[in-house]
Amino acid sequence: MKKDFSVVIAGGGSTFTPGIVMMMLENSDRFPMRELKLYDNDGDRQGILGEALEILLKEQAPDLKFSYTTDPEEAFSDVDFVMAHIRVGKYEMREQDEKIPLKYGVVGQETCGPGGIAYGMRSITGMLEIIDYMEKYSPDAWMLNYSNPAAIVAEATRVLRPDSKVLNICDMPVGTLRRMSQIVGTTPDKLEVSYFGLNHFGWWTSVKDKATGYEYIDEIKEYVAENGYLTQVEVDTQHMDESWQATHKKAKDLLAIEPNYLPNTYLKYYFYPDYEVASSNPEFTRANEVMAGREKQVFTAARNIIEKGTAVDGGFHIDSHASFIVDLARAIAFNAKERMLLIVENNGAIANFDDDAMVEVPCIVGSDGPEPLAQGKIPAFNRALMLQQVTAEKLVVEAYIEGSYQKLWQALSLSKIVPSAEVAKQLLDDLIEANKGYWPELK
- Amino acid identity, residue 90? K
Give the orientation angle of helix 323-333 with respect to helix 17-26, to 10 degrees.
Answer: 60
Q: Which of 38, 23, 31 has its CA nearest to residue 85?
A: 38
132, 171, 241, 430: which one is catalytic? 171
Say which residues have a Cβ less than 8 Å from residue 201's Cβ, sequence separation at least 6.
151, 264, 266, 267, 270, 360, 385, 386, 389
From the annotation, which residues make up the binding site for Mn(2+)? 170, 200
Q: Are 86 and 144 in contact (CB under 8 A)?
A: no
- Amino acid identity, residue 155? E
What is the per-residue DSSP string for 395-413?
HHHHHHHHT-HHHHHHHHH
- Amino acid identity, residue 208? K
- Amino acid identity, residue 259? P
Say which residues have a Cβ less than 8 Å from residue 149's Cβ, sequence separation at least 6.
110, 111, 116, 119, 120, 123, 199, 200
- Going across the sheet that includes 369-372, the strands are 65-69, 33-39, 5-10, 81-84, 142-145, 166-168, 338-345, 358-366, 369-372
Task: Quickly count: other Cβ atoms within 10 Å of residue 188's Cβ.
Answer: 18
Q: Which of 252, 243, 217, 249 has its CA nearest to residue 231?
A: 249
From the annotation, which residues make up the binding site? 94, 148, 170, 200, 286
237-242's contacts with Cβ under 8 Å and 24+ in sequence apart are: 241/289, 241/293
216, 266, 269, 400: which one is catalytic? 266
CA distance 121 to 439: 6
From the annotation, which residues make up the binding site for substrate? 94, 148, 286
Number of helical H runs and strand E runs in the chain: 18, 12
133 is catalytic: no
CA distance 172 to 154: 16
- Amino acid identity, residue 146? Y
CA distance 228 to 405: 40
Q: What phi-psi label fits residue 428: left (phi over 0), alpha (psi between -120 and 50 degrees) or beta? A: alpha
- Going across the sheet that includes 191-198, the strands are 191-198, 201-209, 262-263
What is the per-residue DSSP string for 36-99?
EEEE-S-HHHHHHHHHHHHHHHHHH-TTSEEEEES-HHHHHTT-SEEEE---TTHHHHHHHHHH
189 is catalytic: no
In Å, what is the CA distance from 427 to each residue of 160, 286, 400? 27, 19, 17
Residues annotated as part of the active site: 171, 266
